[in-house]
Amino acid sequence: MHIIQQAAVSVVNQVMSGRNLNQVLSEVVSVQGELTHQQRGALTDISYGTLRYYGQLAKILDALLDKPLQDPQIRYMLLIALYQLQYTKAAEHAVVDHAVSAIRKRNPAASGLVNAVLRNYLRNKDQLIQAAMQAEEGRYSYPQWWINAIKSQYAAQAEGILLAGNQHPPMTLRINRRRTTALEYLKLLTQHEIHARIVEPNAIMLDHAVTVNKLPGFLDGLVSVQDAGAQYAAAILDIHDGMYVLDACAAPGGKSAHLLEIAEIELVSLDKDAQRLQRVRENMQRLQLNATLVVGDAVKPDSWWNGKLFQRILADVPCSASGVVRRHPDIKWLRRPSDIENFAQQQQQILAALWPLLAADGKLLYATCSIFARENQQSVNEFLNQHPDARQLPITAPDVNYGQILPDDQHDGFFYALLHKQV
């Protein structure tokens, strides 16, 4: 276990220094070499879990220390061990012993401190947790500025939103309508003893997540993994056969593929990152779909646009990703208050650049995976004020009101605004 703890220390340390969790985790696994499947799973759980509950764990640790630790490696080891003791089924003595052994190899003088802190936690666990919960950062495990923003914007809904962001995310599948139906695929899952239920006409949510290689027909393109909230985009855009459509920030390609699954369209999938666009290509190949893939910056259409106007544009713009923190808990600690305004400015640039590419009477769907109003309706309002030929359309469907979608047990947080270019 101490090998996994040491690896997790490296992951958390790098993330808290400003790096992306998935990227760091991939690199650490590669460096570690011969980790078993079980060890990789444990490393992922510990890394994600420590970051998910970092605010609470930090409050508990601070209460256990007489003075701040000078060595961040020791601090992260203690946070990781506290996560294991509080949130996993690992044997308490094993967690403590391995943490002490791991620190002894790095800093022999600190092993006694680690042992004392963790055993003190075990003796006073309930009181320490209760004390940590008195502070909002300890209760919700977000930075205080984030908590303040959510409370200011959502009032009575705030606590539910914050707590939802700390849950394990559901695994949802999008049915490829060209190849099967939700009912047919649900039967196929049952035959493979995978329990699931239909949550949208073409969306199935699994009771428990599995690796994609265990999904029947995945490699043959029967289904894709996509959050139910993200699946709303294709329906909202109101595409029809024969249309010329742009997906302006396409990678990794889930929404592009969904558009092609529901209509016979000519689709241009644009992304400025060639490496990420390769993932779009791989998704298209697996699903046996065709799109024109273009490497280019949505803000600079002169470098890639052929001059033909689009009838529909999907602008899934860069954002804080505040609606998907349960999938990416590092976001909570990587974001800064100033980032929100920076993203809002990027969004304005993208909208302004794409609007001239839209044909008269065409529709542009503005989409984010954010729950911050500054990136969502406020950003849309700013654009509307500067473009008199743009009108925001109501977005409704049976049993669903789109717009600001808040995270819950069935989907992540998203925002959609459908803009019509008036003739």
Q: Which are the catalytic amino acids?
A: 369
Q: Which two tokens stand for residue 115?
A: 């042992």
Rg (CA), the chain: 23
DSSP, res 356: G
Looking at the DSSP bridge assignments, the partners of residue 421 are 390
Contact 378, 344 (CB under 8 A): yes
Tell me if the bond preceding 394 is cis, omega within 30° of 0: no
Residue 378: other Cβ atoms inside 10 A:
12
Q: Which two tokens stand for residue 286?
A: 């697996």
- What interhelical angle do 92-106 and 72-87 show, nearest 10? 170
Contact 293, 226 (CB under 8 A): no
Beta strand spans in 153-230 (E): 172-175, 196-200, 203-206, 223-225
What one-character-per-residue DSSP string does 313-352 give?
EEEE-----GGGTTT-THHHHH--HHHHHHHHHHHHHHHH
Residue for token pair 């558009």? 259
Contact 354, 304 (CB under 8 A): no
What one-character-per-residue DSSP string does 101-151 give?
HHHHHH-GGGHHHHHHHHHHHHHSHHHHHHHHTTSHHHHH-S-HHHHHHHH
| Dihedral angle sign, alpha carbons of residues 408, 414, 418, 419 | positive
